Structure formats: structure tokens, C-alpha cells
Amino acid sequence: MKDEPGQILTLDEVAAYLKVGKRTVYRLAAAKKIPAFKVGGIWRFRQADIDSWIAAQSEKPEAK
């Protein structure tokens, strides 16, 4: 995976990047819990948005 500004990732690439299953990424995208958009019915993700989402998740206080 190249580290280019504005890079668009596939569902498979995001799953590998986050080290989770493809099904998990699909569910997060469908529930609008992760930044994503569809092109021709196929989920796509901007790497910058994913990185921002990761940072935001790290800042949230854990639920008890």
C-alpha cells in the first residue's frame, strides 16, 4: 500500500490496514461508523479519512 495523499483504498485494503476482517469493515461502513463512500455500489475509503477516524477513536474515553 503506497502512502500517497488522497489515496483511495478498497475494502480489502482497509481491512488489512486495520488488521480486521473484511466483514467488520463492511459492517462499519454500512452503519456509517467509519468514513466511506460507494463508487458503482462498491465501498471505497480515503486513507486520510481512515487515519483521522483512527485518531478520533483513540481520543474517545472508554465506556465502562
Using one digit for the tens of pLDDT, what is the confidence trace for 45-55? Answer: 999 999 999 99
pLDDT tens string 20-58? 999 999 999 999 999 999 999 999 999 999 999 999 998
**Residue 1 located in a structural domain:** no
**Residue 49 located in a structural domain:** yes
**Residue 30 located in a structural domain:** yes
Structurally, the chain folds into a number of domains equal to 1
**Residue 52 located in a structural domain:** yes
3: phi then psi, degrees, rounded to nearest 5: -105, 75
**Residue 2 located in a structural domain:** no
**Residue 64 located in a structural domain:** no
pTM of the model: 0.83
**Residue 19 located in a structural domain:** yes
Q: What is the pLDDT of residue 58?
A: 85
Strands 42-46 and 37-39 turn out to be antiparallel
**Residue 41 located in a structural domain:** yes
Domain range for 32:
8-59
Instruction: Answer whether residue 6 shows pLDDT above 90.
Output: no
**Mean pLDDT confidence for 1-29:** 90
